[in-house]
Structure 1
């Protein structure tokens, strides 16, 4: 099935890309969630407009990403999570928790989908998470998880 992506999909592509996927994946996941539209000759105009918008946004966002990276570099992020006596958390730290902690620490608003947590954080301590601000700009953000 040939589709046009309207949103960024990990491992598949970015908005405006024409991709070939299996019928079930397209019909049951991408199309119902609005991540893609069916490819037609008439949709080619929409592809062009998405690509133009993406190009303009990327040029602007590269400078913004560098500014945000500087802000994040000087930030001390502390997460207060419920934990047991042995330092083990009740649950784990999610990318949503990290995004809220960055905002609470006085940092810029970061999209939770841009935050990459390599290994699950299930105990108190110091950790590092990756934030993909732009395809060319990645930031390693140190966070401190504290049990309450």
Structure 2
């Protein structure tokens, strides 16, 4: 029996591979558990079409993220906060505040988990912040923290 693996199976192969297996193993275990499908021409062609669609979608997402990284590299975000007598901020600026400020002022939506702070921002000045955008793409933007 020829089967197309729909997920990795230890000792047999990886997703997308076609293997010849015994009928009982293929029908009663692999197909029954959804780990494989019977390898007909229709199933193989559908799988290849789905893979092609996934690759196109991934390429589109990568292009969007590269565009976002370029726009982030040219960006300077201004944040004003109250400052104490010694010039330090009342509390630190958090990733969540940075994400909200990006959304408000530049309409760039980033998750706070994607923002990397090297150290807490507790005083005024200009800081470089890295944003991890996925697929190994990252953008670096500047934050100008000013006294209110």
Into which bin does the TM-score normalised by the smaller protein fall? Answer: 0.5 to 0.7
Q: Determine the structure 1 residue equivalent to 2:68.
A: 68
Calculate the aligned-residue CA RMSD, in Å.
2.9
Contact 1:71–1:107 (8 Å) recurs in 2:
no
Runs of 4+ in structure 1 over 4 Å off:
41-45, 52-57
In structure 2, runs of 5+ residues without a counterpart are 1-31, 37-50
Contact 2:124–2:147 (8 Å) recurs in 1:
yes
Q: Distance in 1 between matches of 2:87 and 2:54?
A: 44
* TM-score (structure 2 length as normaliser): 0.59
SS at structure 2 position matched to 1:105: helix
Residue 97 in 1 paired to residue 94 in 2?
Answer: no
Q: Distance in 1 between matches of 2:92 and 2:109?
A: 21
SS at structure 2 position matched to 1:69: helix
Q: Distance in 2 between matches of 1:82 and 1:133?
A: 31
* TM-score (structure 1 length as normaliser): 0.59
SS at structure 1 position matched to 2:106: coil
Q: Distance in 2 between matches of 1:134 and 1:44?
A: 28
Q: Determine the structure 1 residue equivalent to 2:147.
A: 147
Greater helix proportion = 2
Higher-Rg structure is 2
Q: Distance in 2 between matches of 1:110 and 1:59?
A: 20
Q: Distance in 1 between matches of 2:111 and 2:34?
A: 29
Further displaced range: 75-84 or 57-66:
57-66
The superposition leaves residues 60-116 of structure 1 with CA deviations (integer Å, 9 ceiling, x where unpaired) of: 321110111122122220111222122211110111111112122224111111000
Q: Determine the structure 1 residue equivalent to 2:77.
A: 77
Contact 1:75–1:107 (8 Å) recurs in 2:
no
Mapping of residues 1-148 of structure 1, within 5 Å: 42=33, 58-148=58-148
Count matched residues.
105
In structure 1, runs of 5+ residues without a counterpart are 1-40, 46-51
